[in-house]
Chain A
Amino acid sequence: ETGVTQSPTHLIKTRGQQVTLRCSSQSGHNTVSWYQQALGQGPQFIFQYYREEENGRGNFPPRFSGLQFPNYSSELNVNALELDDSALYLCASSPTSSEQYFGPGTRLTVT
C-alpha cells in the first residue's frame, strides 16, 4: 500500500531517553498531523504542521516537538521519555486540513 509511511515500526526506549519518530507524507500533502494512541483509546492530537510551521497543538507538554521538511517528511521528537509515553504514534497527511490519510503507526514502548 502506497501513501503515508512511518519508521520505525516498533521501538523500545528507557525512561528519560529521547526518541525521534519519522513520517513520510504523500507527495503534495502540505499538512501533517501527529497523534498519540494509548491502548484502548482513540488517537489524541499532538500537533500539526503546515508548510514547515506548527499550525496547532493539543494538550501535550513541550517535550513533544516536531519538524516538517520540504520533501514531505516530518519528525516527532519526544524528550525525557516517561512510562506513560508508551503508545502507538500516528502521523496523518492531508492536501487540505479536512480529510487526513494515516500512516501505519510506530509502536513506542518505554520501560
Chain B
Amino acid sequence: AQRVTQPEKLLSVFKGAPVELKCNYSYSGSPELFWYVQYSRQRLQLLLRHISRESIKGFTADLNKGETSFHLKKPFAQEEDSAMYYCAPLSGTYKYIFGTGTRLKVLA
C-alpha cells in the first residue's frame, strides 16, 4: 500500500538552528513528491516539489530513492517558518497521499 510517514508530530528548534523535517514514503514506481505548508489561519499551500529542484523560502528537499525519503531542510530556521508541514507524494495522475504532518515551532 502507498504510505507516507512523517515520524515527528512536533519539532521545536531555536531561531537560527538547522531544521530537518523527515518524510519517508512507501510507493511503487516513481512518485512526484511535494511539500505543502499551512501557516496559522491560512490555507494549505504548496511549498516545493522535487522535480523543480528549487529552494523556496530557504527550504530544500532531496529525493532519495534508495531510502525512499524526501526530507525537508533549512539551514537557519526563522520564526515565520512556524507552521504545519505535510509531505505529499502524488499518486498516479490525480491524488495526493498526505502524511500526518509535522508541526514546526521556531523558538525565539
Please report A residues at the B interface, Cβ cutoff 8 Å.
1, 4, 31, 33, 35, 40-45, 48, 50, 55-56, 58, 90, 92, 97-105
B40-48, B55-63, B65-73, B75-83: which one contacts chain A? B40-48
Task: Known contacts A40-B100, A99-B49; decide if A105 and B43 are in contact (CB<8 Å).
Answer: yes
Task: Known contacts A98-B32, A98-B90; decide if A45 and B95 are in contact (CB<8 Å).
Answer: yes
Closest-by-CB residue of B relative to A50 is B94
Closest-by-CB residue of B relative to A49 is B94
Please report B residues at the A interface, Cβ cutoff 8 Å.
4, 32, 34, 43-46, 49, 86, 88, 90, 92-101
B94 CB contact (under 8 Å) in A97, A99, A101 = A97
A92 to B94, CA, bound (A): 11
Chain A residues positioned under 8 Å from B99 (CB to CB): 42
Contact B100 A42 (CB under 8 A): yes
Contact A33 B44 (CB under 8 A): no
Minimum distance in angstroms from A57 CB to a CB of chain B: 9
Contact B97 A45 (CB under 8 A): yes
Contact B94 A55 (CB under 8 A): yes
A104 to B86, CA, bound (A): 16
Contact B32 A42 (CB under 8 A): no
Chain B residues positioned under 8 Å from A104 (CB to CB): 43
A56 CB contact (under 8 Å) in B34, B45, B95, B101 = B95
Chain A residues positioned under 8 Å from B45 (CB to CB): 101-102
Minimum distance in angstroms from B10 CB to a CB of chain A: 11
Chain B residues positioned under 8 Å from A48 (CB to CB): 94-95
A44 to B101, CA, bound (A): 12
Contact B92 A43 (CB under 8 A): no
Minimum distance in angstroms from B100 CB to a CB of chain A: 5
Chain A residues positioned under 8 Å from B4 (CB to CB): 42
